[in-house]
Amino acid sequence: MKERDSDQFARIAIDVEPADPHRILQLQARAIARPADIPLPRMSETGALAALRSKLQQDAAADRFAGAVLVAKHGKPIFAEAYGLADREQKIANTLQTRFRIGSMNKMFTATAVLQLVQAGTVKLTEPLGTYLPDYPNKEIASNVTIHELLTHTGGTSDIFGPEFEAHRLELRSLDDYVKLYGTRGPEFGPGSRWAYSNCGFLLLGVVIEKAAGVSYYDYVRDHVYRPAGMTSTGSEAESEAVPGRSVGYMKVDGSWRPNTGTLPYRGTSAGGGYSTVEDLLKFANALEAHTVLDVHYAELLTTGKVDTPGGGRYAYGFGEQLRGGVRCFGHGGGAPGMNGDLEICPQSHYTVVVLANMDPPAAQRSADFIENRLPER
């Protein structure tokens, strides 16, 4: 089946009892890549951008999109527009400089930082977590889960969201606080045996960065990722601090939009929750491709898929990799109540797409998919 207002397909599987009355035993719907026998024709660049503008205008008018969209070719913007309100109460419009919460998109920054330390010889991908965190409470994870497995979500380190997180949301102020709360848990499955998205794994990578580099995670990514890339509007300041130009996130509750303030962590972490702009994320993409933050070998290692994921793509190190028709793209999305974003870098076609929204998923993801599916392959 295809979603009505997007390009997204899903496969619905229904298990039915063979005998009367043929009761439904199970019904599952899972997002899948577009079937090969239902191709979506590529458009000219001019036509694709015109179609994108029309879609965004329609979605904004219908209150399905509020945010900023940037499309670049060879690192230079060819489409850059903002829609909707950053603050509905104050009637402040979104702009290209608006800082949006990016959810899990900053896993890309964390993975880049880890690969910088690998490139420098300070960290080894094959070493277990305990090499860098010898006091980690659960010895089974410390001894068996490698840095490679944490970076690829194959370490079995589970997730952090649920009742425990809700009970301690504003008490979790440092990465060590997360280790104290979750560090006694054992692996969910045998390390390396399968893929399962793990925010906990990327929290642990943030602590590895701190131990290996001898500075806080926040200072490291500021000095070694953001500054070299020229990113001046990206960070993870506490939600209690006033950040100029940071939008209010809006989530749909009982049919109306409400601020997502009561769902936010104390501050963003190495697993997600920071903020950025579409312009800064383009700078990050350009820095990766120009080998400003990593050399050629490690940039390729960072972004090349290593393990299959359920959606039909492959996961690299903090980046997802997928083929759109014949075009290879890599990047990462982020989503939580009141926030959604996506960055996709397509080296073959030389396009980069950045979409950020201050509303529930899939507002940004659907817009990113729309343009990526229609731009020329070369």
What does 332-350 look like in DSSP terms, one character per residue?
Answer: EEEEETTEEEEEEEETTTT
Given this model, what pLDDT does residue 191 score? 95
Round to whole Å and give the CA distance between 176 and 300: 31
Round to whole Å and give the CA distance between 253 and 269: 26
3-state secondary structure at position 183: coil
Phi, psi of 15 (to 5 degrees): -95, 125
Round to whole Å and give the CA distance between 103 and 105: 6
Ranges for all domains in the chain classified under CATH 3.40.710.10: 39-103+244-372
User: How would residue 264 be classed by pLDDT, with cut points 50, 70 and 90?
Assistant: very high
- What tokens does 17 get? 């009892």
- For 54-109, how does the pLDDT look when each residue is reduced to its tens digit (9 = 90+)? 999 999 999 999 999 999 999 999 999 999 999 999 999 999 999 999 999 999 99
Instruction: Write down the CATH number for the domain with range 39-103+244-372.
Output: 3.40.710.10
pTM of the model: 0.93
User: How would residue 4 be classed by pLDDT, with cut points 50, 70 and 90?
Assistant: confident
- For 206-258, how does the pLDDT look when each residue is reduced to its tens digit (9 = 90+)? 999 999 999 999 999 999 999 999 999 999 999 999 999 999 999 999 999 99
- What tokens does 1 get? 């089946």
- How far is the CA of 93 from the CAs of 52, 66, 245, 378, in angstroms? 20, 9, 10, 34
User: 26: which strand partners?
Assistant: 15
Range list of H helices, the chain: 45-61, 107-119, 139-144, 147-151, 163-168, 175-182, 199-213, 217-221, 227-229, 278-289, 296-303, 363-372
